[in-house]
Structure formats: structure tokens, C-alpha cells
Amino acid sequence: MEHVPAADWITEAASAAERQGPGNLLRVVLIVMVVGCVLVGWFLLRGYRRDDDG
């Protein structure tokens, strides 16, 4: 891998993303979305738990 100056890093990343396609970004977005849905569901459903202490 060749050295890329700091100023050209964003341009190089954008051109690499165009060559690769949306695969990695889409994977990350889907994983974050699923984990977020699970956490929101857990947070909302835990309020319906009944405490029979008294």
C-alpha cells in the first residue's frame, strides 16, 4: 500500500468506496440498526414488567 498524504486521504477513501461499492457501509448500517432496534425494544418492554412485591 502506498503512502497517501493527509490532504488526499478523503479523496482516496471516496474513490476506494466507489470501486468497492456499498458493501461494508451497508453491513455496518444494518448491524447498528438491528442492535438499536433490540435496545429500543428492550427499553420499551421492560416498563411492562410487573413487580409483585406489594
pTM for this predicted structure: 0.51
**Closest to 1 measured CA to CA, from 11, 22, 12:** 12
User: CA torsion sign, 13 to 18 to 20 to 23?
Assistant: positive
46 is a domain residue: yes
53 is a domain residue: yes
**Full residue range of the structural domain in which residue 34 is found:** 23-54
17 is a domain residue: no
pLDDT at 27: 92
16 is a domain residue: no
Residue partners of 26: CB distance under 8 A and separation at least 6:
none
Q: In the chain, how many domains are there?
A: 1
Q: What is the pLDDT along the chain (54 residues), one digit of tens a residue?
A: 566 566 576 777 777 767 777 788 899 999 999 999 999 999 999 887 766 564
pLDDT at 23: 83
**Closest to 1 measured CA to CA, from 16, 14, 23:** 16
